[in-house]
Structure 1
Amino acid sequence: MENLMFHASIFSLVFLLGYCFLRAFYTIWWKPKLLEKFLKQQGIKGTPYKLFIGDMKEYIKQITEAWAKPINLSHQIAGRVDPFTRNVVQQYGKISFFWAGKTPRLIIMDPDLIKEVLSNKEGHIRKPKINPLILILTRGLTTLEGEKWAAHRRIINPAFHLEQLKGMIPLFVNSSAMLIEKWMKLVSCGGTFEIDIWPEFQELTGDIISRTAFGIKYNEGKKILKLQKELQKLVIETMQTLYIPGFRFIPTKKNRRRKDLDKKITSMLRAWIERMENKMKTKETNDHNLLGLLLQSNDQNKGTDAKSNYMNMEEIIEECKQFYLAGHETTSSWLTWTMVVLAMHPNWQQKAREEVQQICGDKDPDTEAIRHLKTVTMILYEVLRLYPPVIALYQHAYKETKIGNLTVQAGVDLTLPILLVNRDPELWGDDAEEFKPERFSEGVSKASKDQTAFFPFGWGPRTCIGQTFAIIEAKVALAMILQHFSFELSASYTHAPYTVMTLQPQHEAQIIFHPL
């Protein structure tokens, strides 16, 4: 009997080891090679699969080398910002693949196919599973899928209607005026001053989002921005190390700090929301901020039977985190690169200034003025083309699906490289790497050879909900700066764009200002 039990135990152990071996073999070799075969059968070329690590070692090497030194003062930044993707495209084509570990990542640069991916009606292609570390920053709209996303989008939409945003323009103006007043105080005896504009624009956009989203002044909003900035830094730092499942739950010093920061941010936002709810009950507010409008829209949905049609307190808090995260980083990046580019191209700086002076004179920009700032709009779009805050969009195929003539198997990641598409000579001409705002003189749809080639705010149903907000914000800030200053690059400026969630200057963005 004992002998029989011994043999049964040995058999069970052998079976378990065999199952584990086969499972591992399938996961790290058989499945990747099968997906590679499907891609190659369709004529798609790419890098050869390397067991388990894929191309990650080479990817890190190329990024490290590229970011180690600045580049010449030009707009040919793709080789520094995203060298690996650019090299894969150059070697294997505009539809090609490489390996993110054991997962093939399909690069798509065809605008029509990109449109199909982003408009995927069946829902087979969606955002990839988000690293749990990212979710501590926000579980808002951009992280949601399916019915939950649709419900949140429907509730938030009214806050971003154009008519509502027009009413917020005075808040954009007030924040920009405070920045200009601050800069005027820096004017030296010689009539000039030099400053790093990157943190300045982060402060500006933080002030704007504080006023427009929550109806509070920047000094109050600055507290939460400071906490979010520290939390974001800790998250990025951890993501750049080897991911170990469950490690974030171990009470290390940094893990405890992340948890503490999240608790503080959540607590502050909860207090603001409750304060706004109380004001709305007692009619002490006109609700003309994003939070008030969101709460108003949410209340209108509470009478419905399905709980999924409205947001609970925790979900509202997450959307407020999203307001700060999305509304803060992207526009500050956009404005920073706009100033750098206009400092590089003083002729266009002057054209924009003349337009602002002609339309606004000495007055602050209003709704009508913003609508007529054609040259300013052209410049902003061209900067957005050359220096997009988000350099690529990422998707994942959860089920096999057709995209054009391609069949994308379940388990394949997709990369839509905005930065590279925006520089494709076949779409933008031989001068694709040059700053030529006149491309947009007849609007976005006629700027390139394919009217779908320009998608800085995404495409389809998931187009960025804050698109119009960001455009108005950037126009107001740039117009007011042009009214008061001319500017040039400092001799200490080094051209070194790189990505830390958004496209940023790696070594500051020193600009010399001359008051007019």
Structure 2
Amino acid sequence: MVTLMGKIVLAVVMVVMGIWVRKLIIWAWLKPKKLEKWLKKEGYKGNSYKPVIGDLKEFATMMKEAKSKAMPISHDIMPYALPFDHHIINKYGKKSFIWFGTTPRIYITEPELIKEIFSRPNDFQKPHPEPVRDSVIGGLFTSEDHEWVRNRKIINPAFHVESIKSMFPSICSSCNEMINKWEMLVTGNGPVEVDVWPSIDNLAGDVISRTAFGSCYEEGQKIFHIQKEQIDLTLQQMVMINLPGGRFIPTVTSKKFKSNANELRSMLLGIINKRKKAIEMGDNNNDDLLGILLKSNLKEIEEKGVGMSMDDVVEECKLFYMAGSETTSNLIVWTMICLSLDHEWQTKAREEIMQVIGTRELHFEDLKCLKIVTMILNEVLRLYPPASMAIRATTKETKLGNMNIPSGMNISIPIMTIHHDCKIWGEDATEFKPERFSEGVANAVKDRGGSSSFLPFSSGPRVCIGQNFALTEAKAGVAKILQRFSFELSPSYKHSPCPFFTLPPQFGAHLILRSI
């Protein structure tokens, strides 16, 4: 009997092992080779497939080498910020691909195809799972299909113009606090060297803390700092996360990340439940992002019987910080750097600000009059886009243009490459020239791609819901800074646009500030 049972168990084990071995062979070899055959047939060029790792080793090596030093001061940042992608596109042309592990990523740069991809979000979804992204970002950014439609509808009211207008005093208060700290450094000392990046980074977190959580501002600040640490921890274990099963290996870093995640969830649930009870008891004085979201969610539940769960709300609150603070802080700091390099445009912007505002307090209605500032911000978003890439995936055979793309293919829309393309923007594509936006975004590239070639906030139905909020904060921040200071690059400044989720300056932003 024992012998018979032993044979049965052994047979079951062998069958299970056989199934897993077969799946492993398909995943690691047969499927990639099948996709490689399709790539060659369609005329795509790239490196030959290396089992399991693909191009990851070369990708990591080139990124590490690029980040080990600063680059020459130039807006031609592709070779430094995206060295491997730049290398592949230069070597094989725009119709090329890379192997991200076992999955090929084809580059799509044609404006008409990009427009088609972004206009069909159900056919071209974000890759799932995506270990590095999923470690830090969730919520509306990663949801799909019905869940995305429902959540977007619930969140929309928080980002209406009237909602942003009601939050504008909080935005200005945060800006004023930063300006006052800088003035204390400069007053009586003449020109002073300041690394403005930490202050601007904290400004963006401060704004989100005030506008997202209002009365729970202090807890919001703690959440911001934990979120920042989570990004650093993810960077430290990025290679490990991309390995099959790597994120489940219990390292010191991964344990700290998990501990932070639990603390973050606990803090957010506490704030959310407190605010939810206040709303249920008739307290309608909650016009911050969280309050508006919860009231909108309550209305959805009353009308449809189902809305966002508390876990969904937690993820959206985390996303407020990641997307809201990172995008805006990057935009403000690169604007200061670009204007430090171009004093003519710095002067033009300041003259406009003094003409519109003078020395009085900034009002929400003033923003629409800041045409030059808007042109400058658009040009900075073009040269230093917050997201360097947009990745989409096919889950079934999908037609795109004249191609039938097989299931399991990733599509890479290299936003930075497109924003720096001389064929789209002209021979001066890597130069800082805000005048190209003098007639608006749609006319910035004339007949060479239009708005499909300008993608700082993505495009189509899934365009970034917070873009108006980000631009409002950036305009306010830049206007207030130019109202009080002139600035130039410090001799110690090191140019280092470093892409991760966004594009922060790796070595900070050391500028010489002068009070005016």
TM-score normalised by the chain length of structure 2: 0.93
SS at match of 1:402: strand
What does residue range 104-503 of structure 1 map to in structure 2 within 5 Å? 104-120=104-120, 123-132=122-131, 134-187=133-186, 189-216=188-215, 219-241=218-240, 243=242, 248-249=247-248, 252-307=251-306, 310-448=307-445, 449-451=448-450, 452-503=452-503
Question: Is there any run of 5+ residues in structure 2 with no aligned partner, and where?
Answer: none
Residues 146-188 of structure 1: CA distance to partner in whole angstroms, max 9, x if unpaired?
1111111000001111122122222111111111111111115
Residue in 2 that maps onto 1:49: 49
Q: Quick one: structure 1 residues 35 and 213, their matched pair in 2 at CA, closer, same or farther if it must change by over 3 Å?
A: same
Residues 289-329 of structure 1: CA distance to partner in whole angstroms, max 9, x if unpaired?
1111111111111123442xx11222212211111121111
Residues 221-271 of structure 1: CA distance to partner in whole angstroms, max 9, x if unpaired?
221112222222222222232645556556554343223212222222222
Per the TM alignment, residue 128 of structure 1 is displaced from its structure 2 partner at its CA by 0.4
Residues of 1 paired with 2:66 and 2:249: CA distance? 34
Residues 321-379 of structure 1: CA distance to partner in whole angstroms, max 9, x if unpaired?
11112111111111111101100111100000000000111122223210010000000
Task: Choose 242-251 or 136-145, whichever is displaced more.
Answer: 242-251
Residues of 2 paired with 1:470 and 1:118: CA distance? 21
Residues 262-293 of structure 1: CA distance to partner in whole angstroms, max 9, x if unpaired?
22222222222233233334444432211111
Residues 121-162 of structure 1: CA distance to partner in whole angstroms, max 9, x if unpaired?
5x2321001345644534311111111111110000011111
SS at match of 1:304: helix
Residues of 1 paired with 2:16 and 2:171: CA distance? 64
Per the TM alignment, residue 4 of structure 1 is displaced from its structure 2 partner at its CA by 11
Q: Quick one: structure 1 residues 23 and 285, their matched pair in 2 at CA, closer, same or farther if it must change by over 3 Å?
A: closer
SS at match of 1:407: strand
- Paired residues in the alignment total 513
Query: What amino acid sits opposite 2:364 in the alignment?
Result: T
CA contact (8 A) 1:103 1:411 kept: yes
Q: Indicate the RMSD between aligned Cα atoms, in angstroms.
A: 2.5
CA contact (8 A) 1:134 1:235 kept: no
Residues of 2 paired with 1:149 and 1:109: CA distance? 26
CA contact (8 A) 2:240 2:247 kept: no
CA contact (8 A) 2:132 2:241 kept: no
Per the TM alignment, residue 52 of structure 1 is displaced from its structure 2 partner at its CA by 2.4
Task: Choose 314-323 or 76-85, whichever is displaced more.
Answer: 314-323
Task: Choose 198-207 or 377-386, whichever is displaced more.
Answer: 198-207
Task: Give the % identical residues.
Answer: 43
CA contact (8 A) 1:340 1:489 kept: yes
Residues of 1 paired with 2:172 and 2:4: CA distance? 84
Q: Quick one: structure 1 residues 169 and 428, their matched pair in 2 at CA, closer, same or farther if it must change by over 3 Å?
A: same
Q: Quick one: structure 1 residues 252 and 91, their matched pair in 2 at CA, closer, same or farther if it must change by over 3 Å?
A: closer
Residues 458-513 of structure 1: CA distance to partner in whole angstroms, max 9, x if unpaired?
11111000000001100000001000000011110011211232111111110110
Query: What amino acid sits opposite 2:116 in the alignment?
Result: E
Residues 369-409 of structure 1: CA distance to partner in whole angstroms, max 9, x if unpaired?
10010000000000000011111111111111111112211
Residues of 1 paired with 2:15 and 2:510: CA distance? 65
What does residue range 78-97 of structure 1 map to in structure 2 within 5 Å? 78-97=78-97
Residues of 2 paired with 1:305 and 1:386: CA distance? 44
Residues of 1 paired with 2:9 and 2:163: CA distance? 71
SS at match of 1:215: helix
SS at match of 1:420: helix
Residues 69-120 of structure 1: CA distance to partner in whole angstroms, max 9, x if unpaired?
2221111110000011112112222222121122111111111111111121
Task: Choose 285-294 or 151-160, whichever is displaced more.
Answer: 285-294
Residues of 1 paired with 2:374 and 2:284: CA distance? 34
Residues of 2 paired with 1:182 and 1:490: CA distance? 19
Query: What amino acid sits opposite 1:462 in the alignment?
Result: R
Residues of 2 paired with 1:460 and 1:263: CA distance? 35
Query: What amino acid sits opposite 1:175 in the alignment?
Result: S
Q: Quick one: structure 1 residues 25 and 296, their matched pair in 2 at CA, closer, same or farther if it must change by over 3 Å?
A: closer
Query: What amino acid sits opposite 2:355 in the alignment?
Result: Q
Residue in 2 that maps onto 1:66: 66
Task: Choose 146-155 or 211-220, whichever is displaced more.
Answer: 211-220
Task: Choose 125-134 or 205-214, whichever is displaced more.
Answer: 125-134
CA contact (8 A) 1:130 1:143 kept: no
Task: Choose 111-120 or 7-16, whichever is displaced more.
Answer: 7-16
Residues of 2 paired with 1:14 and 1:284: CA distance? 63
CA contact (8 A) 2:55 2:99 kept: yes
Residues of 1 paired with 2:501 and 2:5: CA distance? 57
Residues of 1 paired with 2:287 and 2:16: CA distance? 63
Per the TM alignment, residue 50 of structure 1 is displaced from its structure 2 partner at its CA by 2.1
Query: What amino acid sits opposite 1:415 in the alignment?
Result: S
Residue in 1 that maps onto 2:77: 77
What does residue range 27-46 of structure 1 map to in structure 2 within 5 Å? 27-46=27-46
Query: What amino acid sits opposite 1:444 in the alignment?
Result: V
CA contact (8 A) 2:132 2:242 kept: no
Residues of 2 paired with 1:11 and 1:204: CA distance? 63
SS at match of 1:508: coil
Query: What amino acid sits opposite 1:117 in the alignment?
Result: I
Residues of 1 paired with 2:249 and 2:52: CA distance? 26
Question: Is there any run of 5+ residues in structure 1 with no aligned partner, and where?
Answer: none
Query: What amino acid sits opposite 1:353 in the alignment?
Result: R
Q: Quick one: structure 1 residues 350 and 18, their matched pair in 2 at CA, closer, same or farther if it must change by over 3 Å?
A: same
CA contact (8 A) 2:418 2:453 kept: yes
Query: What amino acid sits opposite 2:350 in the alignment?
Result: R
SS at match of 1:497: coil
CA contact (8 A) 1:209 1:327 kept: yes
Task: Choose 471-480 or 324-333, whichever is displaced more.
Answer: 324-333
